[in-house]
Amino acid sequence: MSRAIAPLAVAFAVLSSSLHAQQPHDVSRIVIDAAMAQTRQVVTYDPTYTRIAYPGGDVPADRGVCTDVVIRAYRKAGIDLQKEVHEDMRRAFSKYPKIWGLSRPDTNIDHRRVPNLMTYFKRKGSALPVTRDPATWKPGDLVTWNLTSGVPHIGVVVDATSSDGKRHLVVHNIGAGPQLEDVLFAWTVTGHYRFP
């Protein structure tokens, strides 16, 4: 009997390993598709502090900022960045930026701040070297920038490419709602993340 079970156990282990190995690709595909879908929605850029539910909270669907593109895309993949960032901040608040003068985490806004997302992704081991080599960027990656004004910004790298075929395009919201644009190297790149 144990001889019959052993091959099944091996087959199950191989299948489980295969499924686990595909998970990041599957998440990336969902994130890409969800980001692209947002470009077909009308969203007014609105950075207003808003009280939202926790977990799973969101500002109204017709409102948002750059981080909301990322948050909504990952939520479609079953990852609630509001919850994940909040829980990590509760465990390690001192590791997060002190830009806003807060003394404790705030579930309404923390996940909607680019520097907090950057810290979270780095703490989760998702940070990659920052380069201007287009070949190092893959669909589903996240890019952060400092705009010329010094404001941090974030976008989702997708599988569509620039007209010259040299760079992936990015879905981001810089003020006109989620847009698909050739902006990967338009500003100073401050972060490159492949999450999860």
User: SS3 for 162?
Assistant: coil
Cβ–Cβ < 8 Å for 69, 112: no
> What is the value of pTM for the model shown?
0.88
Instruction: Give the pLDDT score at 24.
Output: 67
Query: 16 pLDDT exceeds 70?
Result: no
Convert the pLDDT of each residue in 41-55 to its tens digit. 999 999 999 999 999
Per-residue model confidence (pLDDT) at position 25: 80
* Residues 6 or more apart in contact with residue 59 via CB below 8 angstroms: 46, 50, 52, 68
Distance CA 87, CA 54 (A): 11
Using only C-alpha atoms, what is the Rg of the chain? 19
Residues 123 and 151: their CA atoms lie apart, in Å, by 22
What domains are defined for the chain? 27-193 (3.90.1720)
User: Which residue did the predictor score with more confidence, 12 or 46?
Assistant: 46
3 state DSSP class of 101: coil
Show the tokens assigned to 117.
């997302």
